[in-house]
Amino acid sequence: MVTRLHGRGAAGCGLESATIPVTVPGLSSPPEGIAVTDPHAKPPASDKPYPGPPPLRPEGARAGPYAGIESEDDPWIRLACAEAVASVRAGGGPFGAVVVQVDDASGTVIRHWVERNRVTESFDPTAHAEVCAVRAVARDLGVFHLDRIEAGTARLPQPGPTSHCVLYASTEPCPMCYGAIAWARIPVLVFAATRFDAAADGVDFQDADLHAAVARPYRERAGMVIRRADTPGSLEAFRLWAEGDAVRY
């Protein structure tokens, strides 16, 4: 089954707009009864609530870093995984992401965005699927934070006074993508494959060193030379920021 969605590439993440055919097993449209619109369409009314992230599985399904967060399948995560497959077939990296905007008052889905890894397409090493998705959503809505989107400040219409976003990633986000998701204050993250799956033989996306490095003192980090320069004036920008009235984020 095929559903056509709008991939909203942000600056540095490839095309500004594209129609992407995505094959989703068992999903010919968004989940039944849930209203979903194009990012630039007026949201329709719906009495079907967004069910929230997929329910947790019983404890012990998987040990290690995923203990306590293992969950059931979900149509939105399948959509992210289908986009990852479409990306590979188009010559890109094997990663996809979906962001769903949910109305806080009614719990209905207002709109969603679909993105893919665009590193090789755009010659941008930061153009991971999750980063591209966060950029596209923030740009389209005209906001910095995606945990509480207010109708009076967002560029696109929404039925209630506030909404929030949920991000679905085909694979566990790397440290850079996790940082982007956290800086955007997205309150819910759902991913499917793990970083260990991505590091398997023949796939070889090795970010174990990055995960380990952020926990080490700088002098113990491998892969680059790092220095902290004791430079006069390095705090001036912070002083101006603290004393000024620039938009906080």
Break the chain into its structural domains and give their ranges.
75-222
The pLDDT, as a whole number, for residue 57 is 72
Alpha carbon distance 150, 75 (integer Å): 27
User: What's the token pair of residue 86?
Assistant: 């479409």
More confident residue, 10 or 117: 117
pLDDT at 28 over 70: no
The pLDDT, as a whole number, for residue 71 is 85
Q: What mean pLDDT value characterizes the chain?
A: 81
CATH no., domain 75-222:
3.40.140.10
Confidence tier at 170 by pLDDT (50, 70, 90): very high
pTM of the model: 0.79
pLDDT at 138 over 80: yes
Q: Which residue in 130, 150, 220, 236 is the catalytic one?
A: 130
pLDDT at 173 over 80: yes
Alpha carbon distance 61, 64 (integer Å): 10
User: pLDDT for 51-87, tens place per residue?
Assistant: 788 888 765 555 678 888 888 888 999 999 999 999 9
- 34-43, 70-79, 165-174: range with lowest mean pLDDT: 34-43
The pLDDT, as a whole number, for residue 209 is 82
Confidence tier at 240 by pLDDT (50, 70, 90): very high
* Known catalytic membership, residue 130: yes
The pLDDT, as a whole number, for residue 145 is 96
